[in-house]
Amino acid sequence: MLANHVLFLDGEALVIDKPAGLPVDRPRDGSLSLENHLDGLTFGFKRWPVPVHRLDRDTSGCLLLSRNPKAHARLQQAFEQGLVRKRYLAVLDGVVEGESGLIDLALAKVSTIETGWRMVGDPLGTKGSKPSRTAWRVLEIKDGRSFVEFIPETGRTHQIRVHAAEALGAAVVGDPIYGKGEGATLLHAAELTVPRAGKEPIIAKAPLPERFVVAGFSEG
C-alpha cells in the first residue's frame, strides 16, 4: 500500500517514496502502475492526486503529486523554472575519477528499430538536443564501485543515467539500457525540495532502500 509510503502531505500536494519497479505511467503491457494505487492516496479528497513529474520505473524515492488542478499548475511551473532541488543517490559500476564536479552535457533522443529509443550525450549541442547539467560528488569507493550523490540542475529524461555512463564513465549498477543490467538498479531519489510562494516549502526525504544496504552502501 502506497499510503504507507507518504513522506509529505498537505492540502496541495503529497510526496511518496515510490518503490523501485513501479512505473509512473501505465505500461503498454497493461501491468500495474502508479494509477492502480491512486485511489488509496486521496486522504479524504474526491480527486485522485496527479504526478507532477516522473521517475523511471526502476528508480525509487521522492515522487511529487498534486491534489488539485491549481496546485498542479503552480508545482509544474516550479519544475519548469528550475526552482526544485532534487538529490539522488546512486551506486556506479566502476571507480569514478575525481571527487566532485559539474557535468554539462546536452542530451538528445535517438531511436532505432532494433533497440528502440534511448538518450545519448551530444557534446556539440546539435539541433534537437537539450542542455543538461548535473552536479556530482563521490561519497564512497568500495569494491570497484562508486557511491555518488547527484544534484541535477535540469530535468531531462534519463539524465543522471546517461551522465553517469558517458561523462563519468561508470553506469548505474543494474541499469538495463546504459549499463550491464545485472541485478537491482541502484538509483534513488533521496530528497526533494519545492519552494512555494506564501507557504512553507515542500521538503521530503526518502530513506535509502534495502537494496543499497545489501550492496554494501549506506549514508553516514
Q: Which three cell numbers stand for residue 150?
A: 547527484
182 occurs within a structural domain: yes
- 4 Cβ contact partners less than 8 Å away, ≥ 6 residues apart: none
CA 90 to CA 63: how far, in whole Å? Answer: 17
pLDDT in tens, 92-105: 999 999 999 999 99
If pLDDT is split at 50, 70 and 90, which confidence band does 192 have? Answer: very high
- What are the angstrom distances between the C-alpha of 132 and each of 82, 114, 220? 12, 27, 29
pLDDT in tens, 12-22: 999 999 999 99
Longest dimension (CA), the chain: 51
If pLDDT is split at 50, 70 and 90, which confidence band does 30 have? Answer: confident
Q: Would you please indicate which residues are annotated as catalytic (active-site) residues?
A: 56
Q: What is the pLDDT of residue 12?
A: 97
Give the chain's mean pLDDT.
Answer: 94
26 occurs within a structural domain: yes
pLDDT in tens, 196-213: 999 999 999 999 999 999
CATH of the domain at 51: 3.30.2350.10
What is the 3-class SS of the chain, one letter each residue?
CHHHHEEEECCCEEEEEECCCCCCCCCCCCCCCHHHHHHHHCCCCCCCCEECCCCCCCCEEEEEEECCHHHHHHHHHHHHCCCCEEEEEEEECCCCCCCEEEEECCEEEEEECCCEEEEEECCCCCCCCECCEEEEEEEEEECCEEEEEEEECCCCCCHHHHHHHHHCCCCECCCCCCCCCCCCCCEEEEEEEEEECCEEEEEEECCCCHHHHHCCCCCC
pLDDT at 120 over 90: no
Q: What is the pLDDT of residue 166?
A: 96
219 occurs within a structural domain: no
21 occurs within a structural domain: yes
pTM above 0.85, yes or no: yes
Torsion angles phi and psi, residue 118, rounded to 5: -160, 165
Q: Which three cell numbers stand for residue 85?
A: 532541488
If pLDDT is split at 50, 70 and 90, which confidence band does 125 have? Answer: confident
Q: Is the CB of residue 50 less than 8 Å from the CB of residue 66?
A: yes
- Beta partners for residue 52, in sequence order: none
**How many domains does the chain fold into?**
1
pLDDT above 70 coverage of the chain, percent: 99
Q: Which domain holds residue 186?
A: 2-214
The closest of 93, 95, 89, 92 to 209, measured between CA atoms, is 89
Q: What is the pLDDT of residue 22?
A: 96
128 occurs within a structural domain: yes
